[in-house]
């Protein structure tokens, strides 16, 4: 009898231990795991990542972040496949080529994995919405800024990291539309895309300056382009003669703004894009897509504009103060 009682006690104890373990593993498996896919290794994307990690900490979720070395839509597709097969809870992605991710985003949707586009929209995919800059409007702002600097005269070379990504195409279109309408005398040429490779961006700008000495300005469409054009202007000894208006506010941009090589930059809000993407996916998981879209105040066409700031030498300190006030980490400038 005593033996039986002992055996029963041992079994009860083991059951309690196993139940505890099972509970723990259930709890662990339940923590949402979101995946974020960017476009290239660059301080711009590092800032997006900081935003995603801050949201993960605040919301108690896990985030995996990946960027290919440079523009590489095949690498993006295969990473999206890995995210799907590892059954992530949701995906935020920036497509270098929207048509190449269409199939795989459709597959995520079929398997119940919600996807949101960040930084670069891909409206023809099954993404729920888009979080990032209104790129067409931002391109127009860049055009207005450069048109004024040039006094409506001169020749602008557009330097870009991509001819396929929607954000680049929209920024170029907005820019060209303003120029055609308001500054029709300005000549615009588009340089070959550098696929988000900084050294290619610089050598392309250098060759353009050599081959077309009448270039009086660069429009740097991606974060890599502004600093690359500024370096090209410096190495060609054309400082003050060739203007640069571009996008983003990495430490390199700020250094060139301070030294006057970059006239103005359109500062996007990469930290916010990262933070809000994770916040949105988490809300979708909790309450479904419609409620999440409403709660985060997406527009009717399912876009969340994160906004831009035009930064010049004159407004740089004001901009720094604004970032600090919004709790966005500032480092390196
Ligand atoms: C763009 C990104 C791009 C990055 C680096 C940013 O301006 O929004 O799409 O990957 O520049 O080139």
pLDDT along the chain (333 residues), means of 10: 50 49 53 97 98 98 98 98 98 98 98 98 98 98 98 97 98 98 98 98 98 98 98 97 98 97 98 98 98 98 98 97 92 92
Is 274 within 8 Å of 55 (Cβ atoms)? yes
Q: How many domains does the chain have?
A: 2
Last residue of a domain, one of 240, 267, 294: 267
Q: Find the domain containing 100 and state its range.
A: 32-133+270-306
Residues 213 and 167 both lie in one domain: yes
Residues 106 and 77 both lie in one domain: yes
- Cβ–ligand 1 distance for 93 under 6 Å, the answer no
Residues 153 and 220 both lie in one domain: yes
Mutate to test the pocket of ligand 1, among 93, 168, 224, 249 (most ligand atoms within 8 A of CB): 224
Last residue of a domain, one of 237, 267, 297: 267
Would residue 26 count as lying in a domain?
no
Ligand 1, closest atom to CA 94? 9
- Cβ–ligand 1 distance for 161 under 6 Å, the answer yes
Phi and psi angles of residue 16, each rounded to the nearest 5 degrees, phi first: -60, -45
The model's pTM: 0.91
pLDDT of residue 15: 46
Q: What is the CATH number of the domain that holds 114?
A: 3.40.50.2300
Between the CA of residue 330 and those of 222, 224, 254, 273, 276, what are the distances in Å? 20, 19, 11, 16, 18
Ligand 1, closest atom to CA 71? 10
Is 141 within 8 Å of 170 (Cβ atoms)? no
Q: Ligand 1 atom 5: the closest Cα is on which residue? A: 223
Last residue of a domain, one of 267, 284, 318: 267
Cα-Cα-Cα-Cα dihedral sign, residues 84, 67, 95, 76: negative
Q: What span, in angstroms and rounded, lies between the C-alpha atoms of 146 and 270?
A: 23
Residues 279 and 258 both lie in one domain: no
Residues 78 and 107 both lie in one domain: yes
Q: What span, in angstroms and rounded, lies between the C-alpha atoms of 224 and 247?
A: 9
pLDDT of residue 87: 97
DSSP, residue by residue, 63-87: EEEE--SSS-HHHHHHHHHHHHHTT
Ligand 1, closest atom to CA 165? 9
Cβ within 8 Å of residue 85, ≥6 positions away = none
Q: Ligand 1 atom 2: the closest Cα is on which residue? A: 222
pLDDT of residue 329: 87
Would residue 186 count as lying in a domain?
yes
Give the 3-state secondary structure of residue 315. coil
Would residue 42 count as lying in a domain?
yes
Q: What span, in angstroms and rounded, lies between the C-alpha atoms of 126 and 101?
A: 10
Max Cα-Cα span within the chain: 103
Q: Ligand 1 atom 10: the closest Cα is on which residue? A: 39
CA of 72 to the centre of ligand 1 (A): 13
Is 243 within 8 Å of 218 (Cβ atoms)? yes
Between the CA of residue 171 and those of 36, 194, 208, what are the distances in Å? 23, 16, 21
Residues 163 and 245 both lie in one domain: yes
Would residue 76 count as lying in a domain?
yes
Residues 78 and 153 both lie in one domain: no
Would residue 246 count as lying in a domain?
yes
Residues 217 and 170 both lie in one domain: yes
Compute how many other C-beta atoms are within 10 angstroms of the C-beta atom of residue 313.
Answer: 14
- Cβ–ligand 1 distance for 120 under 6 Å, the answer yes
pLDDT of residue 6: 45
Residues 151 and 187 both lie in one domain: yes
Between the CA of residue 161 and those of 207, 242, 306, what are the distances in Å? 16, 20, 21
Assign residue 154 a region (left: φ > 0; alpha: ψ between -120 and 50; beta: otherwise). Answer: left
- Cβ–ligand 1 distance for 167 under 6 Å, the answer yes
- Cβ–ligand 1 distance for 273 under 6 Å, the answer no
- Cβ–ligand 1 distance for 186 under 6 Å, the answer no
Would residue 106 count as lying in a domain?
yes
HSE-CB at 298 with a 13 A cutoff on CA atoms is 22
Between the CA of residue 193 and those of 29, 243, 256, what are the distances in Å? 43, 20, 22
- Cβ–ligand 1 distance for 71 under 6 Å, the answer no
Residues 180 and 121 both lie in one domain: no
Residues 100 and 83 both lie in one domain: yes
- Cβ–ligand 1 distance for 196 under 6 Å, the answer yes
Q: Ligand 1 atom 1: the closest Cα is on which residue? A: 222
- Cβ–ligand 1 distance for 130 under 6 Å, the answer no
Would residue 163 count as lying in a domain?
yes
CA of 222 to the centre of ligand 1 (A): 5
Residues 169 and 254 both lie in one domain: yes
Would residue 46 count as lying in a domain?
yes
């Amino acid at each position: 009898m005593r033996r039986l009682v002992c055996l029963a006690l041992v079994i009860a104890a083991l059951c309690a231990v196993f139940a505890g373990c099972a509970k723990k593993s259930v709890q662990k498996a339940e923590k949402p795991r979101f995946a974020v896919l960017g476009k290239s290794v660059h301080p711009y994307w590092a800032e997006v990542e900081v935003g995603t990690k801050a949201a993960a900490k605040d919301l108690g979720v896990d985030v995996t972040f990946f960027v290919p070395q440079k523009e590489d839509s095949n690498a993006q597709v295969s990473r999206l496949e890995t995210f799907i097969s590892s059954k992530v809870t949701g995906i935020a992605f920036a497509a270098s080529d929207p048509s190449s991710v269409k199939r795989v985003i459709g597959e995520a949707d079929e398997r119940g994995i919600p996807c949101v586009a960040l930084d670069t929209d891909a409206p023809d995919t099954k993404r729920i919405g888009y979080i990032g800059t209104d790129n067409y409007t931002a391109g127009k702002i860049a055009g207005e800024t450069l048109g004024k600097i040039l006094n409506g005269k001169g020749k602008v070379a557009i330097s870009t990291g991509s001819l396929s990504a929607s954000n680049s195409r929209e920024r170029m279109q907005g820019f060209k539309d303003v120029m055609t309408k308001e500054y029709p005398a300005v000549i615009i040429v588009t340089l070959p895309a550098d696929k988000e490779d900084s050294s290619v961006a610089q050598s392309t700008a250098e060759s353009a300056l050599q081959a077309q000495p009448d270039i009086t300005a660069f429009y740097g469409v991606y974060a890599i382009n502004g600093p690359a054009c500024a370096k090209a202007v410096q190495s060609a000894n054309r400082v003050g003669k060739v203007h640069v208006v571009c996008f983003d506010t990495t430490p390199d941009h700020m250094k060139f703004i301070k030294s006057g090589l970059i006239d103005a930059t359109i500062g996007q809000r990469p930290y916010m894009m990262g933070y809000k993407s994770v916040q949105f996916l988490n809300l979708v998981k909790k309450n479904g897509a419609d409620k999440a879209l409403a709660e985060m105040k997406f527009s009717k066409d399912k876009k969340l504009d994160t906004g831009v700031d035009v930064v010049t030498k004159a407004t740089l300190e004001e901009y720094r103060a604004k970032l600090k006030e919004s709790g966005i980490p500032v480092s390196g400038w």
